[in-house]
Amino acid sequence: MQHFNLVEDQYGDLHLFGLLENRTGQAQEYPTVYVTFRDAAGQEVGSDFNSVEIETQPDGWLAPFHIVTIVDEYATFEMTVDALPATEAIRTDLTVSNVQVTLDGGIYEVRGDITNPGDPLADLAEIAVALLDVSGKTIGVGYTVVLDIDLGSGQTAPFLIEVDEFFGTASDYRIVAVGYG
């Protein structure tokens, strides 16, 4: 896990943000991050999980995740990952360009273009973004899809991803785009 950040919101919920790197040697479907919280004696006091923001993560790529949970008191936490080898064909040749990150009323708007330089998609494209603060910690994540009918062979389509500003000021981002078919 990289760029992870654990923050408590005003309601007492814990938010664990980060980027999961796939180092398995092949694409993975349904990557899920698990977190276990322990007290000073090492006893489990809470746990939770959530999937990364894209369904299939190519080998070597970083994908954002966000887990929201409630744990009253803990001393340490540990993260583990579970995933399945990909069975569906994925496209990693999609390109993202013209990305602009702006703040509008407490919401970061991540706008850009996605281009399909190759054959038509069989289904859709997924785009996920992680916003990072000046220290490199993830402060928010977001996700959107672009349908295949909007992103044919050689076509470019605009996208918009909205991310709440609750957890800090964004100074950088990581973005990934994966297509299917």
**Angle at the Cα of 144 from the Cα atoms of 143 and 149, rounded to 5 degrees:** 160
Q: What is the pLDDT of residue 43?
A: 96
pLDDT-derived band at 96 (thresholds 50, 70, 90) equals: very high
pLDDT-derived band at 149 (thresholds 50, 70, 90) equals: confident
> Which residues belong to CATH 2.60.40.3230 in the chain?
2-85, 90-180
Element (H, E) at 99: strand 95-104
What does the pLDDT look like over 5-43, one tens digit per residue?
999 988 999 999 999 999 999 999 999 999 999 999 999
2-85 has which CATH code? 2.60.40.3230
Which tokens in the block code for residue 119? 């054959």
Q: What is the pLDDT of residue 4?
A: 85
The pTM for the full model equals 0.91
Classified by CATH at the fold level, domain 90-180 comes out as Immunoglobulin-like (2.60.40)
Tell me the torsion sign for CA atoms 76, 165, 134, 67: positive
